[in-house]
Amino acid sequence: MNKKVAVILSGCGVYDGSEIYESVITLLRLDQRGATVQCFAPNIAQMHVINHLTGEEMPENRNVLVESARLARGEIKDLSEARAEDFDALIMPGGFGAAKNLSDFATQGAACQVLPAVLELAQSFASSGKPVGMMCIAPTMAAHIFGPGVVCTLGNDDDPAAAASREMGVEHQACEVTEIIEDSKNKLVTTPAYMLAQSISDAASGIYKLVDRVLELTNK
């Protein structure tokens, strides 16, 4: 039986949305493993819009769901329609959209809050014992979802995001870009991806392992 996986996107582009390579690699691996995928994104305004050529903020407004549809080739639904009972697992790619649109970690650090719709859905997966995969900066939401003591990685122990996560109650573990960290109690799998990756193949090595392990955990 094919596994059904929900993927939450946060826009389109590393600086203000989902990291495109991470998202595509995730979707590719899920497809290679025969999983049925449904992408979701919150129907909200982006925190801001970044010119990815210059890195400067642009004087315009964009919608997270509409931008995420670019990555999903239009096959995406409003996050409000997502139900944990319809899926076997949940995966959240990174990109600064995870810290700007799915949460306010980018501006609030350890005092951040997670978007209520994201938090409610992720906690539904957690309370149902269904595996969750988070990559890059997305694990900064882990303490809110799973509570203090959750084990995850953001790459290097001395990264400011790792320090802020520890302040929130995360048990942070350093991890190479090619590897994953698993919290067996919470069925959470994390990998650094572009927190450390120097190339798309670097990112893919860890993301493939994350996807494979998440799918394996659906059987446990």
Q: pLDDT-based confidence at 220, cuts 50/70/90?
A: confident
Q: Which CATH architecture is the domain 4-217 placed in?
A: 3-Layer(aba) Sandwich (3.40)
> Catalytic positions, please?
136
Is 46 in contact with 17 (CB distance < 8 Å)? Answer: yes
Q: What mean pLDDT is predicted for residues 106-129?
A: 97
Cα atoms in the 13 Å half-sphere on the side-chain side of 88: 18
Is 68 in contact with 46 (CB distance < 8 Å)? Answer: no
pTM of the model: 0.97
At 125-158, the pLDDT tens digits run 999 999 999 999 999 999 999 999 999 999 999 9
> Mean of the per-residue pLDDT values for the chain?
97
